[in-house]
Structure 1
Amino acid sequence: MHGLKKKRRVQIVLVAFAALAISTALIGYAMRDGINFFRSPSQVVEEPPRANEVFRIGGLVEEGTLQRGAGETIRFSVTDGGATVPVTFTGVLPDLFGENQGMIGTGRYINGVFEASEILAKHDESYMPKEVVDALKEQGVYQEPNGS
């Protein structure tokens, strides 16, 4: 009787462990497309990602590079002070998007050009995404906004 209780307890622990492992694997599988890693332009240039990898890039829109072409396609370059990556985006840009402003884009890096599917811009004159601030500080070019 005593051995049977111990055997049953071991079986329950093993079944619980297997259920936990399976549920963790299913959650990871379900989230694989929803996780986007952030990269600065310097990181993208140093180690270009695979063409099918969706990731986020952030930095400052380089002055003099914003080109609004025919249709809705917009071209510009994003920089962190150490490297510059050309970006294309088809769609409507946020109202506060502009040159020398912080931005984060989600998309793919194909043939040396970041093809953005989504562009986010700062929401007021002092905001800059944390990832962009960290990348600019790492490059040594970050300046505190005036009035803060």
Structure 2
Amino acid sequence: MKGLKKQRRIQIIALATVALIGATALVGYAMRDGINFFRSPTQVVEDPPTAGEVFRIGGLVEEGSIVRGQGETVTFRVTDMNQSIPVAYTGVLPDLFGEGEGMVGTGSMVDGTFQATEILARHDETYMPAEVVDALKEQGVYVDPDASGS
């Protein structure tokens, strides 16, 4: 009788372990397309992404670089004040998108141009995405708007 209880306990532990490994594998498989790594323009230039790799790029929209093409296509350059990358986007830009403002785009590199599928801009006058702030701090060009004057 004691041997049966011990054998049953081992079977339950083994089954639970297999179920846990299976669940972890399924979650990892489901998330593989949903994970996009953030890169600054300098990181893109120094370590170019592989063909077709989807990632997020962020920085400031370079002054004087926005060109509105035919239809909804817009091209501009995103910079971290060290390097800049050309960006092309077809769609409606956020209302607060503009030159000198922070932005984050999702997409991939095609022939040296970042083809964005999504553009995110600040949601108020002082907000800047954390990834953009970190990239600008790394370059030594970030100025904290809250630290001025007081």
Shorter-chain TM-score bucket reads over 0.9
Percent identity reads 68
Matches of 2:147 and 2:81, distance apart in 1:
23
Partner SS, residue 100 of structure 1: coil
Structure 1 residue 51: deviation in Å? 2.2
TM-score by length of 1: 0.95
Structure 1 residue 146: deviation in Å? 5.9
Say whether residues 1:17 and 2:17 are aligned partners: yes
Equivalence for 1:50: 50
Aligned-residue Cα RMSD (Å) equals: 1.3
Equivalence for 2:96: 96
Structure 1 residue 99: deviation in Å? 0.5
TM-score by length of 2: 0.94
Structure 1 residue 147: deviation in Å? 7.6
Matches of 1:146 and 1:4, distance apart in 2:
68
Matches of 2:13 and 2:128, distance apart in 1:
48
Gaps of 5+ in 1: none
Q: Across the two proteins, how many residue pairs are aligned to each other?
A: 148
Amino acid at match of 2:102: G
Amino acid at match of 2:69: G
Amino acid at match of 1:99: E
Partner SS, residue 45 of structure 1: helix
What does the per-residue CA deviation read over 1:87-143, in whole Å, with 9 as the maximum and x for residues that have no partner? 000011111111100000011112211000110111111100001001100110101
Say whether residues 1:126 and 2:140 are aligned partners: no
Task: Note closer, same or farther for the CA distance 1:8–1:138 as it changes in structure 2 (3 Å cut).
Answer: same
Equivalence for 1:117: 117
The farther-off stretch of 73-82 and 46-55 is 46-55
What does the per-residue CA deviation read over 1:61-112, in whole Å, with 9 as the maximum and x for residues that have no partner? 0111111112211110001112111100001111111110000001111221
Equivalence for 1:69: 69
